[in-house]
Amino acid sequence: MTMGPVTTETTAAAAGGAPDGGVLRCGRPPSHTTGSRTYARIADEVAKQGAQRIGILALITAVTVVGVAIVQQALQPQTAVAQQSSLFRLSALFLVLAGIGLAALQRSELVSAQELLDLGLVFEVFGACALAFMENAMPWPDTPIRGSSAVATWLAICVVIIPNKPWKSVTAAIVSAAIIPVEHLMTARMLDYPALPWNRLAIHSLGPFLVAGWAPFISKRMHQLHEDLSRSQDFGNYHLEKLVGRGGMGEVWLARHRLLRRDAAVKLVSAGLLEGAGHSERRHLQKRFESEAQAIASLRSPHTVAIYDYGLAENGSLYYVMEYLQGMDAEVLVHRYGPQPAGRVVWLLRQACDSLEEAHDAGLVHRDIKGSNVFVCRLGKSADFVKVLDFGLVKNLAGATQTALTGDRTSGTPAFMSPEQVRGEEIDARADIYGLGCLSYFLLTGSVVFNKPDALAMAVSHLTEQPEPPSMRSELPVPQSLDRVVMACLEKSRENRPQSVTELRTMLDSCTGFAPWTATDAIRWWELHRPEPARKES
């Protein structure tokens, strides 16, 4: 149950499938677990808000039809001929009664919100039909040429006001627009007056068809906007402010603590991930999640991303509250700025070792060390500060009673997977050392160790192929001392690798032949490439 990191142009939310270590109220779910509006209920919230808007629209429609008829009688008596037509009066009466009826139905709550949204589209179509009949209740004069049908305005209002699935909104808009020419020709025959020439009828119908043509874009955008706005609300002590990422596991939101005014990343994991599991299986997964979250939360390294809170929502879905980081992951760093100098790579790796050293001492192995799980950021006055993310695949080595949330031993990313992971063997901390070797190779060369066309070929290569030293593939100079450290981490047999990250860090400290990277270098690089945005006052 892993959710990878989410990055943006200048910011990123701390990511991970299970909670990443940090400060947490351990041992009990947060007090606001059952009171929060959860991810799974957001669609219902959108429908409820849309249903309320439909009720208002229906009532306004009824009042407007009556009001316009009264005003026209007073200010434009020549329209009385049209208003005295039975077709005009029946159409107006239909709009008034349908509007009042739909508004009353919304207030009564006799139908679900989604059913009311569908009825709103029916009201849109029949409203267009009624308006078209009212426009054609009397013959049109030869001059002046009337412009577009008033149905265009009606459709534009309905597309914006009524949130629904885009295909439903588009269908309703197209049907409503098609009604205009059909009703004109039909009414002209019924009332025995000459129909408009085709060019005038085309101009009259153009507006509704243009609105219908834009309906797919307007409806999709408005539906997403309604959904986003419904989530921009308080989530326990945190106010959701902006969606920063969406993936198969759920969503990541920028949030702010209501009292502390502290930014955080709230990750809402879709409840659909647990669908299909029985009640006992679901409870078992939830307990394993809690046990793992508490174990990782015990980590205190500043280079492990911090958790502020976590919980199980009332529908069984999971959520996490983590620190919000400004920067980019190592994968984005390389893709955007190319291979990194040896001194900087050593600087970053030593910090990652600090995080993993504590985890390994606690009996935890990460199992998915890769570029997207090593985040490089600004933190206070420090630059090039590393945070290790996504402990969602973590395996507890202390005993069989504490198992990982994911029971698949082969879990991981093929480009960074150790041979023992590929074989499905029991793994230990040396699998993370292999991952660090793959990560350092990527940082130095800009490419993965085995660049194969598919995941299977890549995984097999970790078992059978000997990688080229990074110095042979990098466009930047890589000293032999660092070459040897990377190749030692990439040994097929775990017995031949460094046996701990402590040993690996010692080997990195002994590397020579390159300019060391300093805190001054880091600050200068960030000021040049990623200047810090001005802070907004709370």
329, 368, 432, 483: the catalytic one is 368
CA-nearest of 7, 15, 50, 410 to 250 is: 15
Is 3 in a helix, a strand, or coil?
coil
Q: Are 267 and 319 in contact (CB under 8 A)?
A: yes
Burial category of 249 from C-beta neighbours within 10 Å (exposed 0-12, middle 13-18, buried 19 and up): buried
Other Cβ atoms closer than 10 A to 69: 17
- As a whole number of Å, the CA-based R_g of the chain is 32
Q: Please name which of 392, 313, 281 lies closest in space to residue 29, comparing C-alpha atoms.
A: 313
The pairing of strands 238-247 and 382-388 is unpaired
Q: How far apart are CA 58 and CA 99, in angstroms?
A: 4
Strand partners, 264: 255, 323
Q: How far apart are CA 450 and CA 263, in angstroms?
A: 39
Q: Where are the beta strands (DSSP E) in 391-468?
A: 395-396
Residue type, 477: P
Query: Backbone phi, then psi, for 457, in 5-degree steps?
Result: -65, -35
Quote the tokens at residue 406: 């994911």
Peptide bond into 144 cis (omega under 30): yes
Q: What is the DSSP letter of 499?
A: S
In the three-class reduction of DSSP (H, G, I as helix; E, B as strand; rest coil), residue 238 is classed as strand
- Residue 405, SS3? coil
Cα–Cα distance list, 470 to 419, 486, 488, 502 (Å): 19, 8, 12, 22
DSSP state, residue 77: G
**Any catalytic annotation for residue 368?**
yes
Question: Helices (H), strands (E): how many in the chain?
Answer: 16, 12
d(CA 58, CA 190): 29
Instruction: Look up residue 304 and give its DSSP letter.
Output: B
Q: Please name the helix (run of DSSP H) or strand (run of DSSP E) that holds residue 333, with its range, or none.
A: helix 330-337
Q: List the alpha helices (DSSP H) in 136-240.
A: 151-161, 166-191, 198-231
* CA 229 vs CA 128, 285, 287: distances in Å: 29, 31, 32
Contact 196, 150 (CB under 8 A): no
Q: Which residues are catalytic?
A: 368
